[in-house]
């Protein structure tokens, strides 16, 4: 598809969404937007971020590889006010309701757990997670997936992190691509922490969703030195995990700083999240123990 056609599709999609505004109580525009109107709105997306003011952070397709492979990806939106994430929305259209199917795309798991292809009634997937800073709650709205054709009731359900704090029972998740996070370093940390389960490798911010929903207890991302993490790859997920009861910091135990512009400047080594304080402290200690012998 060439540029002009993509643009046409975008304009159509925007107008389709706007025509449904009334559903959420916003009056729809009197006339559909034209191409120039849509381009003007897109051009407003030039905020550089920073410590003052309010701005939205959007990652329309996070986990691009997962998206093109028909695997996990996320649509992530966050509102940042004076450098703090105050609202997070994370859409995970391919995320299965049953944890066991998260790994369906990975041959190793299919064979190890003798998974058969999911039947359509089991393959319920897709939800939107929402959290507001300070609410102490994160919410999940499943996407409409009743394949039996019966009435679809959309309900928000509170999600909570897992209660497991024994590393031997915990599951950790990490990026699929070795280029995005060192698998050998996290394997060392896992060993030192006493994690026994095989890592859950999931594309995109769906990893934060896995922690918030209690599908996994730990998330680690250690990119190569020099890589700068972007705020849109983390903002929504971090708030959702925190409000669901989890903890997210850098490897030095400091909160991620969303006030420094487009990047998470000053990030100490990597990003770690866990389902609770006790596990987090053990994880920080294990990272410290493994760091000196690592080549990162
Ligand atoms: N070299 C390198 N190192 C670290 N991180 C990188 C790197 N390259 C990309 N990215 C960013 O990682 C986003 C995808 O991260 P994931 O955790 O989903 O990784 S993975 O796709 O599961 O391997 C991905 O987000 P999207 O571009 O939205 O897919 C990138 O912003
Ligand atoms: Mg991204």
Question: How high is the ipTM of this complex?
Answer: 0.95
Distance (angstroms) between ligand 2 centre and the Cα of 30 equals 34
Instruction: Please state, rounded to an integer, the average pLDDT across all residues of the chain.
Output: 90
State the CB neighbour count (10 A cutoff) for residue 195. Answer: 22
- Rounded Cα–Cα distance for residues 206 and 200 (Å): 11
Distance (angstroms) between ligand 2 centre and the Cα of 37 equals 26
pLDDT digits (tens, 9 = 90+) for 26-44: 888 899 999 999 999 988 8
| The predicted structure's pLDDT at residue 286 | 97
| The predicted structure's pLDDT at residue 25 | 83
Q: How far apart are the first and last CA of the chain?
A: 41
50: pLDDT strictly greater than 70: yes
What SS3 state is found at 164?
A: coil
pLDDT digits (tens, 9 = 90+) for 193-249: 999 998 999 999 999 999 999 999 999 999 999 999 999 999 999 999 999 999 999
More confident residue, 29 or 271: 271
pLDDT digits (tens, 9 = 90+) for 167-196: 999 999 999 999 999 999 999 999 999 999
Distance (angstroms) between ligand 1 centre and the Cα of 184 equals 17
| The predicted structure's pLDDT at residue 151 | 46
- Of 276, 270, 278, 277, nearest to 221 (Cα)? 270
| The predicted structure's pLDDT at residue 284 | 98
Q: Where are the beta strands (DSSP E) in the chain?
A: 54-62, 74-81, 84-96, 125-132, 138-142, 157-159, 172-174, 200-201, 218-221, 247-250, 271-274
Does the Cβ of 290 fall within 6 Å of ligand 1? no
pLDDT digits (tens, 9 = 90+) for 254-266: 999 999 999 999 9
Contact between 32 and 15 (Cβ < 8 Å): yes
- Reported pTM: 0.89
- Ligand 1: residue of 177, 178, 271 to mutate (most ligand atoms within 8 A of CB) is 177
């Amino acid at each position: 598809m060439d540029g002009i056609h993509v643009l046409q599709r975008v304009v159509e999609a925007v107008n389709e969404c706007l025509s449904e505004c009334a559903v959420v109580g916003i009056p729809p525009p009197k006339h559909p937007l034209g191409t120039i109107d849509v381009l003007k709105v897109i051009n407003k997306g030039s905020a550089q971020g920073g410590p003052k003011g309010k701005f939205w952070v959007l990652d329309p397709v996070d986990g691009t590889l997962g998206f093109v492979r028909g695997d996990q990806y996320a649509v992530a939106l966050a509102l940042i006010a004076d450098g703090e994430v105050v609202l997070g929305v994370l859409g995970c259209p391919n995320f299965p309701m049953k944890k066991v199917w998260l790994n369906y795309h990975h041959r190793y798991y299919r064979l190890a757990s003798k998974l058969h292809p999911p039947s359509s009634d089991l393959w319920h997937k897709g939800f939107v997670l929402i959290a507001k800073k300070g609410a102490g709650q994160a919410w999940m709205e499943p996407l409409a997936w009743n394949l039996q054709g019966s009435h679809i009731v959309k309900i928000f359900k509170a999600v909570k992190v897992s209660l497991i704090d024994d590393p031997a029972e915990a599951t950790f998740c990490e990026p699929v691509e070795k280029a995005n996070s060192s698998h050998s370093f996290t394997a060392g940390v896992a060993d030192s922490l006493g994690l026994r389960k095989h890592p859950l490798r999931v594309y995109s911010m769906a990893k934060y969703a896995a922690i918030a929903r209690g599908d996994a207890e730990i998330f680690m991302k250690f990119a190569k030195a020099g890589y700068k993490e972007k705020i849109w790859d983390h903002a929504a997920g971090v708030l959702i995990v925190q409000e669901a009861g989890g903890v997210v910091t850098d490897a030095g135990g400091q909160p991620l700083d969303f006030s420094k512009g487009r990047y998470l400047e000053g990030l100490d080594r990597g990003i770690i999240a866990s389902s609770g304080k006790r596990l987090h402290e053990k994880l920080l200690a294990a990272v410290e123990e493994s760091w000196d012998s690592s080549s990162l």
